[in-house]
Amino acid sequence: MTASKKYAKAMFEVLTDTNELESGYADLQELRKVFAANPKLIDILDDIRVADKDKQSLLAPITENASDFIKNFLKVVADYRRFPQILDIIDQFQKVYEDDKKIVRAEVVSATELSDDQRDRLAKAFEKRVGAAKVIFDTKVDSSLIGGVMIKSSDMTIDGSVKTRINKVKELLLN
């Protein structure tokens, strides 16, 4: 198990035990946005040549209105010099959170843009198929599919594209 996974599991347990899982999850998502948008900040916070007081002043706008959980998290990350892994730690936490909540992420590729109704119906059907409480789709359009959709999650791929069906018919005719 990687260090990021260990941190993520520990944070999940702490937030669950203190009944702060939902707020902690939301706080971590916001923190992720800050560090993803400012990758140089990670480098500076990890640089041993930068004085601690300078690092604290850089973190001040982030911690100013932050929860105690986020303040403690950032302190632990700083103390153990884990800033280079901070995004991975938050991503691993998100995976643990989503596994617990039975949330599945999947990519949907369609030949044309899906309507909200189509996306909702597809999500409901996929939820039943994989036993998820909620499905979050990342949608893309690929006109080469001709028609239909492809759904890819970490556990499965469902290819209902016309392109694949045509290729299967070609194979049958050629053999």
| Residue 164 confidence (pLDDT) above 90 | no
What pLDDT sits at residue 175?
A: 77
What pLDDT sits at residue 169?
A: 87
What pLDDT sits at residue 108?
A: 94
| Residue 103 DSSP SS3 | strand
| Residue 96 confidence (pLDDT) above 80 | yes
- Reported as a single tens digit per residue, the pLDDT across 46-91 is 999 999 999 999 999 999 999 999 999 999 999 999 999 999 999 9
28-49 burial, b for 16+ CB within 10 Å, e for fewer? Answer: beebbeebeeeeebbeebbeee
Rg, the chain, Cα only:
22
